[in-house]
Structure 1
Amino acid sequence: MAAAEGLAQGCWSAFWDYETPKVIVVKNRRLGVVYRAVQLLILLYFVWYVFIVQKSYQDSETGPESSVITKVKGITSSEHKVWDVEEYVKPPEGGSVFSIITRIEVTPSQTLGTCPEVSALLPAGLRTGRCVPYYQGSAKTCEVSGWCPVEDGASVSQFLGKMAPNFTILIKNSIHYPKFQFSKGNIEHGKDGYLKHCTFDEVSDLYCPIFKLGFIVEQAGENFTELAHTGGVIGVIINWDCDLDLSASKCNPKYSFRRYLGLGMPGSSFAKYYKTNGSTTRTLIKAYGIRIDVIVHGQAGKFSLIPTIINLATALTSIGVGSFLCDWILLTFMNKNKVYSHKKFDKVCTPRRSPGSWPVTLALVLGQAPPPPGPRSADPGQAGQALAALPPWLCPASAPPEQMVDPPEQTAGPEPCTPEPSPQDSTLADPRGLARL
């Protein structure tokens, strides 16, 4: 119990201790080089990366509000017919996601009835339980009831991609950053008929968002013929990164194109129905093509005082990492580490009793008030007795501060750096000095 009480009392007493830094000059060139190098690296990091590259002095907003309208133009043909926009663009509403059909498998003149199935894994109707001859050869298969003939047995493939690379796609986009009340679009205004005669060029026609389908596929790094046969998804990414500290003309869209692997248009099916001799007939179309996804993102920034102050304070605080690193090297790896520890850490006691008034108490804490009167004598013994008679709130003064250097080589000659003790520390360490105070 006594030990626990002593430990608790010691922790409680240490809780009210105050620590203040002590400045020590260490004459060591290697340690000084490390210290300045760390400070320089931290300074370069904050000046170049944080403030110039990241622009951390700005308030930012990501994800602008966006609206996209698209329109496709062009005519193409297959082996049996001519196709216009209303037939090969799905859906036709002109949204940010649409598909352009480049290959179809057509099963014409399907009627409701019974017929042989082609694949047992993909039944095209309800099985009747009868076994009937296959379409070709002497083999037999199950009979199904549904739209006949079935798709896999009578479909004809048609390629629409011969003229598809010349299809033009208008992508109209408008963005808005609500935090900064900033809006802008990707179409050049004030030029009559401009969009009728232009196509997109990053240098000369940045604000003419009319793209050829072949150009989009090429910029995505794909072969158009292969993609038109198998189908695929291409993203058109519009990036609006705007520094609003500059003029609005400096905020421009940047376009990029990317093929999304593993995604395609694996045979979207639709049918066209009509009447023949009073019975319902349909033409089944299974379509493959290129799906276009228009994706808009961006970030806007503008100067703000709060993030500037926060990042400046962080930079100034981080410079202190150099002192921490050098202190660790000094006290852990360098020679005379015990001497350095003794020089770096001092303990100063405060008075345990009040001398009577707060000005005197403050002066005693700061070490500026004279000690209680006592006999003055030149006798060293009497001086020692006078020092022993000092009140308990005066702690023995530490050794006088000095500039520390690495120990020199054992050569003849005087010490390279032996500074004189400061008058104030000498007075505090000397009884006679205390008497003179």
Structure 2
Amino acid sequence: MAAAEPKSPAAAGAAAARRLARGCWSAFWDYETPKVIVVKNRRLGIVYRTVQLLILLYFVWYVFIVQKSYQDSETGPESSVITKVKGLTLSEHKVWDVEEYVKPPEGGSVFSIITRIEVTSFQTLGTCAESMRVRNATCDSDEDCVAGQLDMLGNGLRTGRCVPYYHGPSKTCEVSGWCPVEDGASVSQFLGKMAPNFTILIKNSIHYPKFQFSKGNIENRKDGYLRHCTFHEVSDLYCPIFKLGYIVEQAGENFTELAHTGGVIGVIINWDCDLDLSASMCNPKYSFRRLDPKHIPASSGYNFRFAKYYRINGSSTRTLIKAYGIRIDVIVHGQAGKFSLIPTIINLATALTSIGVGSFLCDWILLTFMNKNKVYSHKKFDKMVDAPGGGAGPGLCASEPSQQDCTLTDARGLAQL
């Protein structure tokens, strides 16, 4: 019989490739499980169980109970606010009603209650001395005043003349505009004497579209309830009628000081609703705080100007009013939540995965700080060696029992740990 001809290198390579492909296809269907080693060490066991307990407490108490992560949530409800102010007050010269001291009168979520005014009456178009508060307005002669100059923070167009001021020996440049200017003839009037007793009705309704949930802050009664009630956090939660003095007091402010300088008070309505409970458990929570920085003089306080126009003897005349007041900003926010299966599953899976942090920490302690760390390393990790003459490639371990390509190098075991 003739001797078998040696295979060519190409044929041998093809055969090796086929064997590798069959091995990979077979290994694809193998199931791999991590190696479990029990270490008899009390201190390490205490660390392991403590870490597991802390992780478990975090997820049970904080994630699920406090944060309610098992719920689907929606923030920022759709909201509408309608306000109405009632009351009368006195100044040095007249009685004021709501139509005069509330701006704007439409009853929106932002409105102002005037508590002090500085009135400049009978202003007409003409020429007069500029205010001393305007930059470069003071002068000694006409040469100090440039005709035609217009200061954006001034009160008119300069005529080029230097004229005596309204009071005192000073002089300022003459301007053409509404005269006399504000600080030359203004009269102050205080309206805040009875203002603490003003009542403010705040109607608020909210809607969470994701859950199709709506609610309002007024009790549904037909006995004229709103005509004789005022807000109380316990007994009259659904009577949203607040006294102005109560709002300022709850914001921690002195009413008299605030009425003189003006300021901004926020009425915050918070609707945090757990929709897994009854709708009656979803209630508004009110809080009050000052919004303008009162400790920064440049930006504290609140005032605005408006004018009333009329004609006297055919001449245009106006009364300029600089109003100081308490501006009320009604701010509505909240969050609603309801049980949902998807966030529950996600957070449960996260919790179960996080418990494995205890094993990682203990493995790190064993491999780094324990006296027998090398013994543990030999038991935990099998060192892989190539089978002699195998074609599986480096790093692959054949599955046949006869191949000794996976060896344990631990000589003594973990019994001594």
Give the TM-score of the pair, scaled to structure 2: 0.81
Where does 1:324-343 land on structure 2 (aligned, <5 Å)?
324-343=360-379
Aligned match for 1:75, one of 81, 88, 92: 88
Structure 2 residues without counterparts, runs of 5 or longer: 1-22, 136-152, 294-298, 393-397
Partner of 1:379: none
Question: Matched residues in 2 for 1:85 and 1:29: separation?
Answer: 78
User: CA 1:150 to 1:19, structure 2 compared with 1: closer, same or farther past 3 Å?
Assistant: same
Q: Which amino acid aligns with 1:279?
A: S
In structure 2, the partner of 1:288 is 324
Q: Residue 115 of structure 2 contacts residue 192 of structure 2 at CA under 8 Å; is this kept in 1?
A: yes
Give the whole-Å Cα distance in 2 for the aligned partners of 1:131 and 1:353: 107
Match of 1:96 among 101, 109, 123: 109
Q: What is the distance in 1 between the residues matched to 2:171 and 2:265?
A: 44
Matched, 1:164 2:195: yes
Q: Is 2:187 aligned against 1:153?
A: no
**What is aligned with 2:314?**
278
Shift of 1:275: 1.8
* Aligned counterpart for 1:56 among listed residues 69, 84, 95: 69
Pairs aligned (count): 361
Indicate how the Cα distance of structure 1 residues 20 and 347 shifts in structure 2: closer, same or farther if over 3 A, else same: farther
Shift of residue 114 of structure 1?
Answer: 1.3
1:118 Cα deviation from its structure 2 partner: 2.4
**Inter-partner Cα distance in structure 2 for 1:396 and 1:72:** 86
Q: CA deviation at 1:124?
A: 1.7
Alpha carbons 1:242, 1:251 under 8 Å: kept = yes
| Distance change in 2, residues 1:350/1:170 (3 Å) | farther
Q: Equivalent residue of 2:81, what SS?
A: strand
**Deviation for aligned residue 1:149:** 1.2
Cα distance in structure 2, aligned partners of 1:139 and 1:177: 64
| Distance in structure 2 (CA, Å) of the matches to 1:158 and 1:218 | 23
| TM-score, L = length of structure 1 | 0.78
Which shifted more, 219-228 or 345-354? 345-354
Partner of 2:142: none
Distance 1:68 1:190 in 2: 20
Select the residue among 206, 209, 212 that pairs with 2:243: 212
* Counterpart-to-counterpart distance in 2, 1:192 and 1:279: 54
Say whether the 8 Å CA contact 2:226–2:239 is kept in structure 1. yes
Determine the C-alpha separation between the residues in 2 that align with 1:123 and 1:399.
Answer: 93
Cα 1:328/1:123, change in 2 over 3 Å:
same
User: Are the equivalent residues in 2 in contact too, given 1:343–1:401 (CA < 8 A)?
Assistant: no
Is the contact made by 2:375 and 2:410 (CA closer than 8 Å) also made in structure 1? no
The 3-state SS of whatever aligns with 1:404 is coil
Structure 2: which amino acid aligns with 1:204? S
Structure 1 distance, partners of 2:247, 2:413, is 71
AA matched with 2:361: L
Matched residues in 1 for 2:66 and 2:411: separation?
45
Q: 2-side partners of 1:23 and 1:175: how far apart?
A: 56
- 1:350 positional shift: 9.5
Contact 1:187 1:208 in 2 (8 A): yes
Deviates more, 1:268-277 or 1:33-42: 268-277
Name the structure 1 match of 2:399: 365
Equivalence for 2:352 = 316
- Structure-1 residue corresponding to 2:60: 47
Local SS of the residue matching 1:329: helix
- In structure 1, the partner of 2:170 is 139
Q: Are 1:225 and 2:238 counterparts?
A: no
Partner of 2:34: 21
Query: How far 1:72 moved relative to its partner?
Result: 0.5
| Cα distance between partner residues in 2 of 1:184 and 1:64 | 11
Q: CA 1:60–1:403 in structure 2 vs 1: closer, same or farther (change >3 Å)? A: farther
Question: Is 1:346–2:382 an aligned residue pair?
Answer: yes
Equivalent residue, structure 2, for 1:404: 414
Which stretch of the first structure deviates more once superposed, 190-199 or 161-170?
190-199
Larger radius of gyration: 1
- Tell me whether 1:110 sits opposite 2:123 in the alignment: yes
Query: Over residues 133-188 of structure 1, what are the superposed CA-to-partner deviations in whole Å (9 max), with x where a residue is unaligned?
Result: 22223333211111111111100111111111000000000000000000000000
Report the more deviating stretch, 19-28 or 337-346: 19-28
Match of 2:229 among 193, 198, 201: 198
The 3 A distance-change label for structure 1 pair 315 and 396 is: closer
Amino acid at match of 1:149: P
Tell me how far apart the structure 1 counterparts of residues 260 and 204 of structure 2 sit (CA, whole Å): 30
- Matched to 1:394, the amino acid is Q
Mapped pair 1:34 → 2:82: no
1:365 partner letter: S
Between the aligned partners of 2:374 and 2:33, the Cα distance in structure 1 is 20
1:85 counterpart = 2:98: yes
User: In 1, Cα distance between the equivalents of 2:385 and 2:33?
Assistant: 13
Q: For residues 265 and 97 of structure 1, do their structure 2 counterparts lie closer, same or farther at Cα, with a shift above 3 Å needed?
A: farther
List gaps (5 residues or longer) in structure 1: 1-12, 355-363, 368-389, 408-437
Q: Percent identity?
A: 82
Q: 1:363-412 CA deviation, whole Å, 9 max, x = no partner?
A: x9374xxxxxxxxxxxxxxxxxxxxxx6xx333653799973446xxxxx
Distance 1:402 1:210, change over 3 A: farther
C-alpha contact (below 8 Å) 2:379/2:413 kept by paired residues: no
Cα distance in 1 for residues equivalent to 2:112 and 2:262:
10
SS at match of 1:55: coil
Relative to structure 1, the CA distance from residue 213 to residue 403 in structure 2 (aligned partners, 3 Å threshold; closer, same or farther) is: farther
Question: What secondary structure, in the 3-state scheme, does the structure 2 residue paired with 1:272 have?
Answer: strand
d(CA) in 2 for partners of 1:401 and 1:292? 80
